[in-house]
Structure 1
Amino acid sequence: MYGGEIETFYDRLKASYEDCKDRAGTRRKRMGQVHTLATDLFAEWKIEINEIRDTNLKSASRKALADAQIRYAKLKTAMDRSKTAMDPVLTKLNDYVLYLKHNLNAKPVGALGREVVSIEGDVDRLIREMGASIQEADQFIKNF
């Protein structure tokens, strides 16, 4: 790779990083919204259980709340795992973008080419994991 090819490669890698960073930010925001929604929902549910006078209904509502909290705890674990996985991938990708930006020459680009394939695989896997977490969150919300 020489001249314009190097810059084209850099531009593509930088665009990929920016896209992944934006997607990660969107995922983090949605995860935060899911957490806020669940926390508010559970708090309201606990208060309202005390308003139920029928002991059987009150007991059933408490059980449903406990079950929902257990399901949410699993969802939160999946979301936390997804958030934790995003940062190292984004950091690694940003490192390569900055390195390439500062060293636009044929030798480092050749070495980076193999890494980019690996990074793109990491990013694709990360996006699939985030998508699964989002689907799980959406399903959780729909079940309410």
Structure 2
Amino acid sequence: MIKSLVLWGSLIIGFLSLTGCESTYYATMEQVGVHKRDILKDRVEEAKESQADAQEEFRDALEQLSALINFDGGELQDMYEKTLDAYESSEDAANEVSERIDSIESVADALFDEWQDELDQYTNASLKRQSAQKLKDTERQYGKLLKSMRRAESKMAPVLSALKDNTLYLKHNLNAQAIGSLKGEYQRIKQDTELLMTEMNKAIAESEAFIATLK
């Protein structure tokens, strides 16, 4: 039920975000029983999925570049077009990952501000201490998650830049000699991609751990 409501709400979040009214979105969702905590959990899950998708796209781009560099007969232009498509798909996936992380930050900031303000409303000192400790623990876990996600995000840039450089170079130098000259570049891209995969796996693991704290 919550998932369906959040998905429904996502249809209007784009407009509300553009108009600087994400707080209105949160208020609207709360009216139908979906609170910031629920939205945060859902967005972390979506970010985790987008990271997994991005991993596949980057792997595909690397494999396609390898196939092009090791070209052995066939239509060279077709191979180049596939390599370009793979790069563009990776770029789209990377952009989605960044958007997902930004959306997590937005709702997390709103949630923690609200939680902190609500501490002043307690009259029971014991319950207030428990809630304050839970807030502190959640913020600490969230901090680890965000740091891991941003670190993985930063590893996408050098891979994308290298893939773009290679496709731009080949666009006007599509011949066997030019392709052969990129073999050294491929090894560097491969190393950067492997590092990216490692960091994304860490971020996905942190996402799962954080989601567990919200259940």
TM-score category of the 2 structures, normalised to the smaller one: 0.7 to 0.9
How many residue pairs align between the two structures?
144
**Structure 1 residue 100 displacement after superposition:** 0.6
Equivalent positions of 1:1-144 (< 5 A) are 1=71, 5-113=75-183, 115-116=185-186, 119=189, 122-123=192-193, 125-127=195-197, 129-130=199-200, 132-134=202-204, 136-137=206-207, 139-141=209-211, 143-144=213-214
Moved more, 110-119 or 61-70: 110-119
Q: Structure 1 CA distance, aligned partners of 2:93 and 2:191?
A: 16
Q: State percent identity of aligned pairs.
A: 36
Task: Structure 2: give runs of 5+ residues left out of the alignment.
Answer: 1-70
Q: Structure 1 CA distance, aligned partners of 2:174 and 2:72?
A: 9
- Report Cα offsets for 1:34-80 as digits up to 9, x if no partner: 11121111011001111111101101111111111111111111111
Is the 1:79–1:133 Cα contact (8 Å) retained in structure 2? yes
Q: Structure 2 CA distance, aligned partners of 1:46 and 1:125?
A: 37
Task: Structure 1: give runs of 5+ residues left out of the alignment.
Answer: none
Q: Secondary structure at the match of 1:51?
A: coil
Is the 2:138–2:213 Cα contact (8 Å) retained in structure 1? no
Q: Structure 2 CA distance, aligned partners of 1:120 and 1:12?
A: 18
Q: Please, what is the CA RMSD of the aligned residues?
A: 2.3
Q: TM-score, normalised by structure 1?
A: 0.84
Q: Structure 2 CA distance, aligned partners of 1:27 and 1:128?
A: 16
Is the 2:144–2:206 Cα contact (8 Å) retained in structure 1? no
Q: Structure 1 CA distance, aligned partners of 2:96 and 2:113?
A: 26
Is the 1:2–1:106 Cα contact (8 Å) retained in structure 2? no
- Report Cα offsets for 1:1-54 as digits up to 9, x if no partner: 588532122112211111110110110011111111211110110011111111
Q: TM-score, normalised by structure 2?
A: 0.59
